[in-house]
Amino acid sequence: MSFRILKFSGDARAGLLTLPHGEVKTPVFMPVGTSATVKAMLPRDIHDLGYKIILANTYHLYLRPGLNVLKKFGGLHGFSGWHGNILTDSGGFQVFSLSDIRTIKEEGIEFKSHLDGSLHFFTPSSVIEAQDIFGSDIRMPLDVCPALPCSDEVLKDSVDKTIKWARISKDIEPDKKKGLLFGIIQGGISKAERERCCKELIKLDFPGYAIGGLAVGENLNERLEVILLLNEILPQNKPRYLMGMGKPEDIIDAISRGVDMFDCVLPTRNARNGQAFTRKGELNLKNACFSTDDNPIESECECYTCRNFTKGYIRHLIKAREILASQLLTIHNLFFYNTICKEARLSILKGDFHEWRRRFLKNFDK
Amino acid sequence: MSFRILKFSGDARAGLLTLPHGEVKTPVFMPVGTSATVKAMLPRDIHDLGYKIILANTYHLYLRPGLNVLKKFGGLHGFSGWHGNILTDSGGFQVFSLSDIRTIKEEGIEFKSHLDGSLHFFTPSSVIEAQDIFGSDIRMPLDVCPALPCSDEVLKDSVDKTIKWARISKDIEPDKKKGLLFGIIQGGISKAERERCCKELIKLDFPGYAIGGLAVGENLNERLEVILLLNEILPQNKPRYLMGMGKPEDIIDAISRGVDMFDCVLPTRNARNGQAFTRKGELNLKNACFSTDDNPIESECECYTCRNFTKGYIRHLIKAREILASQLLTIHNLFFYNTICKEARLSILKGDFHEWRRRFLKNFDK
């Protein structure tokens, strides 16, 4: 288990992260597999796209199929048939965004299941234990993620608990051969709180750091300032993971500010809504203008979808509510996100990341 | 374009049907691709399962995407990216089963679209023209398929129109290099009407014959009697296609009565309802008893699903309403249906079809 930076280009980094289920080249995008499946994708096809790591959600898996089932299958790998790496989050974010009722206590978070209303209690140690049962290659400690804007008092309290719970989690960190426990930095858009949280976590010497609590109500500049600040404070030799982001331009911006890892539902969720990512921006394939379009989504794209299918056919599948529409668009969008990270990495290795970024964004803004 | 019988075993036949998009070994099951997609399947995966021919529905494709769109794409092959053969039905059956209002006239059938209520008129020649635009490898003439039971008068009239329309269709039969026009035999469960319809169609010398109007209300014995009767009348050297059937045991029974071709929504539709076909019968994977079952659907099955996934995982996917459940079960069920036809064919070639059938059905009834 190691992280090695091979090359810098400005602040952008090309690295190699060694995990229990194989090497991961960074910058890396991780497809979201909420319930132990990346929606509409055969695991074989995720692998064939070049992905070596996916994300799954502790909150969802804890509720369904539940820890007893996952224990019986020897964890997520045995359960899902995915042979690459798996990162699981702490469940904290979903408790805040999905659960009907939640109470933040000193020892953890009490919440009602969005599935059946049953009452549950997440503590730092219960969440670590769950991820141990999952056999996650990268694990996250329980944190408190306030919706923005919030009062100074709420923000300070969320950082206090995040630090305290990180400490408890670190004490029961897994054997590094089985998985890495990252620290999660909270603090909203307050420079002081972000700095405080980050520095306290660095003292605990995590093998990697996640930037949480963004894309929850702040504007773009506020977000970039936070990433810029943390880029200056975080140790260079540890991987940095920006949680839950984002659009292609967000990812490229964050790479330029020293971030290595990303996850987001956009490529998969938007695919199921009929949207394709392209080098010129997003396409809504539901539009009637595509009904007789016999070109692929992108002529130069080498994904299975673009090599074999036209926009007109995909538009028909969307209108007819055919599952194949979701399958083909998910393949294309995940190919696209992987390509962005691959190209970014190659340009960093060649030392011309900023030129690649300029060209990509110029085209993309069209 | 030819059909050659390689071997009989009793009345069961192993044949080779040469079509514009390649050879098809019979007996053959054709997956249903209603709207120019076999639901939840990538065309690549249908091909990899060994299928050389699929079915698509004229009624659905005529309404959506419509003939103008399909013309622009040069037909179904250019539109869908499927490189194998395509059989299309006449649309008659769907007009009877899906359309709100329909009037059978001397010249054709008037009906309202189930999508938007718009009024349409199918005639023998309009249906042939549609299938010419589709570029279908096997085409069907417009027929009248009455729901059973029905009066003698209604039955006789349906056979009269079916014969008359078959004659009109035959007059505009396509160039055989582009596609084959089969005749459809109607007549309900009346031996006299079936015989009359069959003999009239034989006079027209179609390159293949379809048995329509079954599985619409008759019982199993009545159905088998019809197939038995037609087996005696139909010319041996032409392929015979039993439309819309059926369960594994139905297919095997029909093979033993000289039928060569089959299509049915069961393997694909039941997959989307959480059901798997196995050598011991059907499994409902929604059942709670499978939640911790770490065996594949069938231990000896060599499909992608059984080689990589457990019943417990598939049950979880169904409960979480994940698309992957439909994908994995469709792959398994289509593999299973293809395997039945392959094994039946091999046993016919070896001359022991009836022994294979006995063994299969004994196990299957468990």
pLDDT band at B203 (very low <50, low <70, confident <90, very high): very high
Residue of B nearest to A323 (CA): B40
B47 Cβ under 8 Å from any chain A Cβ: no
Whether domain B2-264 has CATH 3.40.50.2000:
no
> At B135, phi and psi to the nearest 5?
70, 35
Q: Answer whether B35 sits within 8 Å of A294, measured CB to CB.
A: no
**Strand residues in A75-179 grouped as ranges (E):** 85-88, 102-104, 109-112, 119-122, 138-139
pLDDT band at B101 (very low <50, low <70, confident <90, very high): confident
CB A296 within 8 A of CB A331: no
Query: Which residues of A belong to the active site?
Result: 89, 263
Report the amino acid identity of residue A359. R
Read off the pLDDT of residues B160-174 as tens digits, 9 standing for 90 and up: 999 999 999 999 977
How far is the C-alpha of B47 from the C-alpha of B51, rounded, in Å?
5
> For residue A196, what pLDDT is reported?
98
How far is the C-alpha of B98 from the C-alpha of B64, rounded, in Å?
14
Q: Answer whether A43 sits within 8 Å of B316, measured CB to CB.
A: no
CATH no., domain A28-264: 3.20.20.105
Greater confidence (B175 vs B137) lies with: B137
| pLDDT > 70 fraction of chain B, expressed in percent and rounded | 99
Q: Mean of the pLDDT values across residues B191-197?
A: 98
Two structure tokens written together for B350: 């070896």
B73 Cβ under 8 Å from any chain A Cβ: yes
Q: Answer whether A320 sits within 8 Å of B72, measured CB to CB.
A: no
Low-confidence winner among A90-104, B77-91, B181-195, B268-282 (lowest mean pLDDT): A90-104
Give contacts of B62 with chain A, Cβ < 8 Å: none
Instruction: List per-residue pLDDT tens for chain A, 366 residues long.
Output: 899 999 999 999 999 999 999 999 999 999 999 999 999 999 999 999 999 999 999 999 999 999 999 999 999 999 999 999 999 999 988 888 887 778 999 999 999 999 999 999 999 999 999 999 999 999 999 999 988 889 999 999 999 999 999 999 999 977 888 999 999 999 999 999 999 999 999 999 999 999 999 988 889 899 999 999 999 999 999 999 999 999 999 999 999 999 999 999 999 999 999 999 999 999 999 999 999 999 999 999 999 999 999 999 999 999 999 999 999 999 999 999 999 999 999 999 999 999 999 999 999 975
Residue among B42, B291, B327 whose CB faces A65 most closely: B291
A339 Cβ under 8 Å from any chain B Cβ: no
Q: Answer whether A327 sits within 8 Å of B42, measured CB to CB.
A: yes
Compute the nearest-CA separation of B41 from chain A (Å).
7
Q: Mean of the pLDDT values across residues B296-323?
A: 98
> For residue A173, what pLDDT is reported?
79
Compute the nearest-CA separation of B33 from chain A (Å).
11
∠ CA A45-A51-A54, rounded to 5°: 100
Give contacts of A57 with chain B, Cβ < 8 Å: none
CB A48 within 8 A of CB A334: no
> For residue A4, what pLDDT is reported?
98
B308 Cβ under 8 Å from any chain A Cβ: yes
pLDDT surpassing 90 at residue B243: yes
Residue among B65, B322, B327 whose CB faces A35 most closely: B322
A237 Cβ under 8 Å from any chain B Cβ: no
- R_g of chain B, CA atoms, integer Å: 20
Give residue B37's Cα distance to chain centre: 14
Q: Answer whether B317 sits within 8 Å of A40, measured CB to CB.
A: no
Q: Delimit the domains of chain B by residue range.
A: 2-264, 265-366
Give contacts of A39 with chain B, Cβ < 8 Å: 322-324
Q: Answer whether A81 sits within 8 Å of B309, measured CB to CB.
A: yes
pLDDT band at B361 (very low <50, low <70, confident <90, very high): very high
Q: Answer whether B36 sits within 8 Å of A316, measured CB to CB.
A: yes
Report the amino acid identity of residue A158. S
Residue of A nearest to B75 (CA): A313
Two structure tokens written together for A7: 């090359």
How far is the C-alpha of B60 from the C-alpha of B98, rounded, in Å?
10
Query: Which residues of B belong to the active site?
Result: 89, 263
Stated pTM of the model: 0.97
